[in-house]
Amino acid sequence: MLFSPLCLSSRRPLAAALCLSLLPATIHAREVVITTTTHGIPHILAPNLEAAGYGAGYAYAAAGNACLLADALVTVRGERSLVFGPEAQVNLVAGRVSNLVSDSFFRAYLDDARLTIADPDADALIRGYAAGYNRFLAETDPQALPEACRGAAWVTPATPADLRRLLGERAIQAGGGRFVEAIATAAPPDTHPVPQAATDPLAPPPTLASNGYALGGDLTADGGGLLLGNPHFPWEGGLRFFALHVTVPGVIDVMGATLAPIPLPAIGFNARLAWTHTVSTSQRFVLHELRLVPGDPTAYLVDGVAEPMVPRDIAIPVRGTDGRVTTVTRRLWESRFGAVLAMPARGLTWTADTAWAITDPERSDSRLVAQWLRLGQAGNVAEGQAALIATRGTPWINTLMADAAGVAGYADLTGVPPVTDARAQACAPSARAAAIAAAARITILAGDRAACAVPGLMPADQMPVRNSRRLFMNANDSYWLSDPATPLTGLPAILGPTDVPQRLRTRMSARQLGELTGRPGPAIAPSDLEAMLFSERNLAADLALDAVLTSCAGQPDLAEACAVLARWDRTSAPDARGAGLFRQLWRRLGADPGRNGGFWSVPFDPAHPFDTPRAPDAHDKATADLLRGALRQAVADLRAAGLALDAPLSAFQQRGGIALRGGDDAEGMLDNLGLGPLGPGGFDTTAPYGTSWVQLVRWRRLADGTTAPVARGLLTYGQSADPSSPLHTDQTRLYAAGRLFDLPFTAEQIAADPGLTQQVLDLPD
C-alpha cells in the first residue's frame, strides 16, 4: 500500500480517483501519514518501524484512549498508592486488589533489566510508540483530555522502559499476574501479613476467552483459507482492543487489532496470511513446595543444603487522605524457584515447615512485540508457525491461522515451563501438595532438589503444532480437540487435559461447524461463518430445556414461566422471548452444570466429546426438584427486577440506550457476552466482557498474480474509550444489529472509503 505524499497531505476527504492516479509513489523519510477510514480505523504509512510505532502511539491516544494508557502506566510503575491512595482498588486480571498490594507486586515482580527488548526492530517500534503517545500529550491541552483523566497530573509522558513494563504485565497475566495478592502479602509465620481478599488466583480469569476458526481450502467455497477470529475480552479498561493498519513499504503491511502498547496487530491479517488467538489451557507456571530449615522459616533445603530466601524491601510512596506523601515499606521474598507466595484459602500456607514458590517463565518475556512483527511479516501458515517457534512470544494464547493458498494451522506455543510427565513424576511433591495440585488442576513440584528447577520453556517439538487443508477450532478448551477430526494426544499433561468434558461453547462450535461441513451443496463461504457467529443459538437450551418443561408441567405456580419457555425459539437473539428467563434459570443452576457431572442422564463419553454429557433426567426426583427450584428462583428474580417473564432479551441487556446481543459462556453461546448479575431493569452492563474484535478474512487473486485479503470486521465497543466520542458506540450499534463491515486494506479500498480523513505527522529529529 503506497500513497503519494500529495494525496495524503490533506486533512479533508479525498476523491479516490485523485489518490489512485498518483500511484505508485514513495513516502517521505521524515513523515508518518495516518489515513483514517470509517469507524476511526487508522491506516499508518511510515518510512521505518520506529516511525510506524510513532504513528500507532499517536493514533491510539488521539482516538480517545490516552487515559487508558496513562492509568496502566501508573499501575506498572507501582504508583497507584501515590496517585489514588493506598486503600482504593484496581481491577487486574486476577481480580480487584488494593493499590498498595498492586504497587508492592509490580515494583517487586517487574524487573526492568529482565524486560530489555533484544530484537532491534521491536525495540524501535516501542521507542516510536512512546514518542508518538508523548507527542499527543504535548500538543493536547490537559483540559481537553477525556473526562476520565481531564487535567490529571498523573497523565505524564511515557518512556520506553514504561512501555516495556506494561508489555511485561501483559505477558504474566496467566502466570505471576494471577498471584498478585498471594505474592505481595506472603509473609513468614509469626509475622503480621496483610490480609488477603477473597480472590482465587487458581481459578481461570473469567473475562478472558475467545473463539477461533481456521478453515483450509478443502472446505471453502474458493479453495483458499478462511479465518474467523472472535476474542472475548473486557469492554472496559486497558484490555480494550484497538483496530489499526500498519504499513512500512518493503517491511510489513498488516491490519487487525491490538492491545496497548503493542504497535502492531496482535490479531490480524496481511496479503497472504490471517491469524487469531484464543486463551490457552496450558499451565504457564509451576509451583514448588519448599522444605524449610527447622527453626528458620526464611531458609529452605536444596539437596540437603540450607539456602536463604532473598528478601526484597519495596519502598512505596503513599498519599494520605490529608495529601501528605509518606513511604511504606513492604518485604517480599524470592527463592531460586521464583517468588514466594501464600494462599491459605487453597492450603498453600507459609508455615514453619513449608513455603511455596512460583516459577513463571513469562516474567522475563520481552518478546511480545517481536512476535507480532514476525507474524505480520509471514506469508503463509508454515512461515507463521516458524515465526512462533523461533520467537516464542505468545505468552498465554493459542494461535489459529489460515493462508491464501488454503492451508489452515493451529499451535499452542505458549510460555509453558518444560515439565514433561517424567519430570513431574520424578519431582512429585508431598502427598498433601499433590492433593492441592489435583484439586486446583495445576502442577506442583518438589522444591528440595536442584534437579526439579524448570528454567526456560517447553521445547516446541513437545507442544501441539499442526496444519492441514481442513479445519481447526478452539473455544478455550485444551488443544485436544482443536482438530476435531483427529484429536491430538500424547503430549505432556501440563499442556492441558484430554478425555474430559468440554465447555458448551466448544461443543456448540463443533455442532455448528459440523452442520456446515456435513451439508450437501456449496462449500463454506465467509457469510456462513458470519451467520454462525450471530445465529445466537443456545446449546444449554438445546440440551436441557425439554427437561425443564417436563419438570414444570403441572406446577400451578410455574404455569406462566413454563408457557413462556415452551414458546421460546431457544436462541438468545435480541427479540427472543424467554431467553432472559432461561439465562437466569441456568445461572441459578450454577455455571455449566454439565462440566461437573451428576446432572445429565447420558454421561460424558470421551469417544463422543461433542455430544456428551446430555439430557437431564426430569423423571429423577432430585433432578426435577433442582430444575423446578431454579425456575422458581429465576421467576422471582425477574419479577424483582421489574421484567416480564416473556420480555425480549433486548429488554434485559441495554447499554447506553443500545440493546446488546449475545449471551453467557455457560449457555454455549458463540457470541459470548458476559454481563453482571440481574438487577432492576436487567443484567448489569457496567463492565461487559465477550465478543470484542471480530475479523473474518479470505483472499482474492489480483491480476498480477498476487493476493489481497477480503476482510470484514467489527470492534463491538468502538475505537474510543471516551464516552463523549462518536467512536465510542458507533460499532456497538452495528454489533446490536449483528453486522460486520468491510475492512479496507488495499490502496483502492482505502481511497474509496467515504469517511476518509488524513493527517501527516512530521517525525522528530
Catalytic positions, written as ranges: 210
- Say whether 666 sits in a helix, a strand or coil: helix
C-alpha cell at 536: 445466537
CA angle at residue 498 from 395 to 669, to 5 degrees? Answer: 75
> Are the beta carbons of 93 and 173 closer than 8 angstroms?
yes
Closest alpha carbon to 361 in 461, 455, 283: 455
C-alpha cell at 760: 501527516
Residue 303: Cβ within 10 Å count: 9
What pairs with residue 385 in β-bridges?
Answer: none
CA–CA gap between residue 258 and residue 274 (Å, rounded): 14
C-alpha cell at 525: 463461504
Q: Can you state the percent helix, strand and coil of the chain, rounding each to 5? A: 35, 25, 40
CA–CA gap between residue 703 and residue 42 (Å, rounded): 27
> Are the beta carbons of 670 and 532 closer than 8 angstroms?
yes
> Are the beta carbons of 454 and 423 closer than 8 angstroms?
yes
Closest alpha carbon to 257 in 41, 47, 403, 64: 41
According to DSSP H, which parts of 421-462 are helical?
421-426, 431-440
C-alpha cell at 573: 437473539
Q: With the CA atoms of 605, 611, 612 and 615 taken in that order, what torsion angle do they form, in degrees rounded to the nearest 10?
A: -140
CA distances (Å), 147 to each of 128, 142, 150, 678, in order? 26, 10, 5, 29
β-strands 41-45, 242-248: how paired? Answer: parallel
C-alpha cell at 696: 473474518
C-alpha cell at 435: 492433593
Closest alpha carbon to 270 in 387, 415, 171: 387
What pairs with residue 733 in β-bridges?
Answer: none
Helix axes 120-139, 49-60, angle to 10 degrees: 40
Residue 254: Cβ within 10 Å count: 25
